[in-house]
Amino acid sequence: MNAHDLASAELQYRAILEKDPQQTEALAGLGWTYHLALKREDALRQFAYCLGVEPNNVECIRGKSSVLLSQGESSQSRLWLDKALSLSPDDPEALVSDAIWKLSQGEITKASVQLSLVIRRFPNRGKYRLPYAEALLREGKTKEALREVETGLNLDLPKRTIAMMWILRARILLEISASAGEDCEQIDAIEAWVNEADRSIKESVSTGVEVPNSGMIQRQLQRRRTTLQEICPYISTESQ
């Protein structure tokens, strides 16, 4: 799972379940494997089976909530998430899922505050910094968002999170670049931000993990470069 080898993860979870069909950790893991592979109906069935074995399994409840949210069923997702939080109010994974739900509903400041508290408790769990940096970016706090991403990239992360972190870094740098406008007097700084965004996209691609919005970010970067070259024709093209 950490290496994002979902096919192998599925085989290994199934091997465990052949020996013990009610092993809830493996049931939850297989559900998340399907979820990450975008096999949402399979994921829902797996989490439902897990909850049939252990109705109060927080990880399977959280998994079901996450799948429902990805399907646009935010109200149903909220119900399951509330159940997870009622069972384990201090579970950091449930709290992060709650913050991600808030982000999806536009409750950005609430999500940001909640994530900052979780990170304060678990500063070495780099994956929590991904949604926190996303919240900071949406709040317009680009420098703080960039700092969180770069801190996260220096911690132990699953490969999928690494890929997403690099794409988020590119988005942040392009936002910083855009905030400077097309001021040719600042072109060296602007170009450096754009070049770093380009490097971030390449780092994400090098992981081998497909990030859904990476193509859109690449097009955004190219448009930014084209605009800068039209307005400031002496801009370097070496990095293209």
Amino acid at 70: S
- Same-domain pairing of 118 and 149: yes
For residue 16, the model assigns a pLDDT of 97
For residue 129, the model assigns a pLDDT of 98
pLDDT, one tens digit per residue, over 112-127 is 999 999 999 999 999 9
- Same-domain pairing of 155 and 187: no
Amino acid at 162: I
- Which residues constitute the domain of residue 212? 177-240
Other residues' Cβ atoms within 10 Å of the Cβ of residue 196 = 19
pLDDT, one tens digit per residue, over 29-48 is 999 999 999 999 999 999 99
Give the CATH number of the domain where residue 42 resides: 1.25.40.10
- Same-domain pairing of 158 and 240: no
Domain end point (choices 125, 157, 176)? 176
Non-local (6+) Cβ contacts of 93 within 8 A are 58, 59, 62
Assigned domain for 1 exists: no
**Residue pLDDT tens, the chain, 240 long:** 999 999 999 999 999 999 999 999 999 999 999 999 999 999 999 999 999 999 999 999 999 999 999 999 999 999 999 999 999 999 999 999 999 999 999 999 999 999 999 999 999 999 999 999 999 999 999 999 999 999 999 999 999 999 999 999 999 999 999 998 878 888 889 999 999 999 999 999 999 999 988 999 999 999 999 888 888 875 554 444
- Same-domain pairing of 157 and 190: no
- Same-domain pairing of 155 and 39: yes
- How much of the chain exceeds pLDDT 70, in percent? 97
Q: Model-level pTM?
A: 0.93
- Same-domain pairing of 43 and 148: yes
For residue 182, the model assigns a pLDDT of 79
* Cα 186 versus chain centre, distance: 32
- Same-domain pairing of 43 and 131: yes
